[in-house]
Amino acid sequence: MSASETATRRPQGIDPRGPRFAATITATLLLIGTYLAAIGTATAHNGDGWAVTDASFATRIADPGFVVLFAIAALFLWAVLSPRTQPYGAIFRTVIRPRLKPPTELEDPRPPRFAQGVGLFVVTLGLLLHVGGVPLALPIAGAAAFVAAFLNAAIGLCLGCQLYLLLARTGLIGRCSSVA
């Protein structure tokens, strides 16, 4: 196989600064959502115990923390299903990246996409448990997702990417490859 055939078969890499840019926005939104969840029905007490256990379905989904975290879950889903059209990526590609030097290296897009799926899972689990009346589920899920997004934004440590690489090395998911 020629070098040009190998280059065309290799997955196209992405600028590693793009996922960090997205993680910065995501961390900010998750911090807001977690704060709102922490002061909402998920943590409130009534005379008999947790307010969320007695709240109606409509009250649970109208909680501001739920609304913000639901929107974040929708953005995670968008990033998993169509990363090229996801708003953060589009903003990075059209507004931010043209103002930067070209990246010194590209990265495989699969680990960041997997990380978005992990974020979707964590936030969706919190949303479902909140709707089911589980106290503290919403702020805990929001906080867990926030920590992961913050680590990625602040120091470039993508926990979901690390999980992807671990699962790839053990053969549980697609092959692990590096993009030069």
What is the full per-residue pLDDT of the chain (180 aa) written as tens digits? Answer: 454 554 455 557 999 999 999 999 999 999 999 999 999 999 999 888 999 999 999 999 999 999 999 999 999 999 999 998 999 999 999 999 999 999 999 999 999 999 999 999 999 999 999 999 999 999 999 999 999 999 999 999 999 999 999 999 999 987 655 544
CB 53 within 8 A of CB 129: no
pTM of structure: 0.87
Phi and psi angles of residue 72, each rounded to the nearest 5 degrees, phi first? -65, -40
Q: Is 115 exposed, middle or buried (0-12, 13-18, 19+ CB in 10 A)?
A: buried
| The predicted structure's pLDDT at residue 158 | 96
For Cα atoms 62, 135, 51, give the angle at the middle one, nearest 5 degrees: 60
| The predicted structure's pLDDT at residue 173 | 86
| The predicted structure's pLDDT at residue 175 | 60
| The predicted structure's pLDDT at residue 9 | 52
